Amino acid sequence: MTGQPDAARRRVVVAITGASGAIFGLRLLELLKTVPGIERHAVISKAGGLTLQAECSLPPSHLDRLADQVHANGNLGAPIASGSFRCHGMLVAPCSIKTAASIATGVTSDLISRAADVMLKERCPLVLAVRETPLHLGHLETLAQLARLGAIIFPPVPGFYHRPESLAELVDQSCMRMLDQLGIHLDAAPRWGEAGGVPAIGGTGGRQA
Ligand SMILES: Cc1cc2nc3c(=O)[nH]c(=O)nc-3n(C[C@H](O)[C@H](O)[C@H](O)COP(=O)(O)O)c2cc1C
């Protein structure tokens, strides 16, 4: 995050779309709230609102508590729709196949896909926590195109080497690794081979297995 103007360094966009896993977007905002000086911008799609309610029993208005600014997905005039509004990066978590396809093809008819497109054209990190399974060839080709454009494809596939004991621990590990991609390094979960983390194979110390 060095070498950028202060305003850009502070702004992170979190978008929640209608794939399963709304909790990832929520937790990212919660974790970002613990980082001093980060300006959190949030957007949720209509389908994201459905999954947030279905999975977390929360309305979209809950985002008001977690973000500095919440933008309507239909507001193509929001600051984050323009490359002149400098941002550090964006996480779409979870990212539906529909939104992934919109970004991959440049059909930016809502704010989430437009803001993501802005990240790509401005060469800012764009993390897409694409969630669908199984994937057909069309999905895979969409993801390959996104990777070619510079997006970071980050399916929220959990690791188990830190022996998670709860859903919260699984979610935190994925969120921590997503934030790593933006250069925001939090110790929200044990890290392999680090003091206080998970001992590397053959290593010493750390969390006991
Ligand atoms: C409960 C629920 C779960 C869904 N899970 C997924 C999913 O995991 N991945 C996905 O790509 N779409 C999923 N969908 C479908 C998307 O919500 C749908 O394609 C929607 O049009 C996506 O719009 P958005 O990208 O604007 O949010 C789910 C829908 C519902 C209602």
The confidence score (pLDDT) of residue 194 equals 82
CA of 20 to the centre of ligand 1 (A): 7
Place of tokens 């896909």: 113
Residue nearest to atom 18 of ligand 1 (CA): 18
Structure tokens given for 103: 């970004």
State the alpha helices, DSSP H only, in 16-59.
22-33, 46-56
Cα-to-centroid distance, 167 and ligand 1 (Å): 21
* Cα 83 to ligand 1 centre (Å): 28
Q: Which residues of the chain have pLDDT under 70?
A: 1-9, 195-199, 202-209
Give pLDDT tens digits for 196-209: 666 677 654 444 43
44: helix, strand or coil? strand
Distance 72 CA to ligand 1 centre (A): 18
If you search the block for the tokens 């999975």, which residue do you land on? 55
Give dist(CA 55, CA 22) in Å, integer. Answer: 7
96 contacts 21 by C-beta, under 8 angstroms: no
pLDDT for res 209: 39
Q: What is the pLDDT of residue 118?
A: 98
For the chain, domains (ranges, CATH) are 6-161 (3.40.50.1950)
Note the pLDDT tens digit of each residue in 94-111: 999 999 999 999 999 999
Q: Which residues line ligand 1 (CB under 6 A)?
A: 17-20, 45, 47-48, 50-51, 54, 96-99, 131-132
pTM above 0.85, yes or no: yes
83 Cβ partners below 8 Å, 6+ apart? 118, 121, 122
Report how far residue 100's alpha carbon sits from residue 78's, in angstroms, rounded to the nearest whole number: 20
